[in-house]
Structure 1
Amino acid sequence: MANDTRTRILETTALLLRQRGYHGTSLNDILSASGAPRGSLYFHFPGGKDQLVIEVTRGSVADVTERLGEALAAEKDPAVAVHHIYQSVGRMLEDNQFSLGCPIAPVVLDSPTDVPELAELCRSAFEQWIGLLRDAFVRAGVPERRAHALALLVESSLEGLMVIARATRDRAPVQAVADEVAALIEAAVLAGEVKQRADAAV
Structure 2
Amino acid sequence: MATDTRTRMIEATALLLRRRGYHGTSLNDILSASGAPRGSLYFHFPGGKDQLVVEVTRASVAEVTERLGEALAAERDPAVAVHHIYQSVGRMLEDNEFSLGCPVAPVVLDSPGDVPDLVELCSSAFEQWIGLLREAFVRAGVPERRAQALALLAESSLEGLMVIARATRDRSSLNAVADEVAILIEQAVLAGKVAQRAETTAV
Which residue is 1:75 aligned to?
A: 75
1:63 is matched with which residue?
63
Structure 1 outlier segments of 4+, above 3 Å: none
Map of 2:32 onto structure 1: 32
State whether structure 2 residue 125 is matched by structure 1 residue 125.
Answer: yes
The reply on whether 1:11 has 2:20 as its aligned counterpart is no
DSSP-derived class of the 2:103 partner = coil
Q: Give, in whole Å, the separation in 2 of the partners of 1:167 and 1:195.
A: 42
- Secondary structure at the aligned position of 1:28 is classed as helix
Q: Tell me how many residue pairs correspond in the alignment.
A: 202
The residue identity in structure 1 corresponding to 2:128 is Q
Q: What is the TM-score normalised by the length of structure 2?
A: 0.99
Letter matched to residue 10 of structure 1:
I
The equivalent residue for 2:140 is 140
Residue 60 of structure 1 aligns to a residue whose secondary structure is helix
**What residue number does 2:192 align with?**
192
Superposition deviation, residue 41 in structure 1: 1.4
Cα offset, 1:58, TM superposition: 0.2
How far apart, in 2, do the equivalents of 1:168 and 1:147 lie? 31
The equivalent of 1:45 in structure 2 is: 45
| Whole-Å separation in 2 of the counterparts to 1:44 and 1:53 | 13
Tell me what 1:20 maps to.
20
Shift of 1:92: 0.4
CA-CA distance at 1:89 after TM superposition: 0.3
Structure 1, unmatched stretches of 5+, are none
Q: TM-score, normalised by structure 1?
A: 0.99
Q: What is the DSSP-based 3-state SS (H/G/I as helix, E as strand, rest coil) of the residue aligned with 1:38?
A: coil
Paired with 1:33 and 1:6, the residues of 2 have a C-alpha distance of 12
Asked if residue 171 in structure 1 is aligned to residue 171 in structure 2, the reply is: yes
User: Using the alignment, how far apart are the partners of 1:110 and 1:171 within structure 2?
Assistant: 25
Q: Percent identity between the aligned chains?
A: 85
Q: Using the alignment, how far apart are the partners of 2:31 and 2:5 within structure 1?
A: 11
Cα distance in structure 2, aligned partners of 1:182 and 1:159: 16
SS in 1 for 2:39: helix
Residue 186 of structure 2 aligns with an amino acid whose one-letter code is E
> 2: CA distance between counterparts of 1:47 and 1:116?
14
- Report the Cα offset of residue 38 of structure 1: 1.0
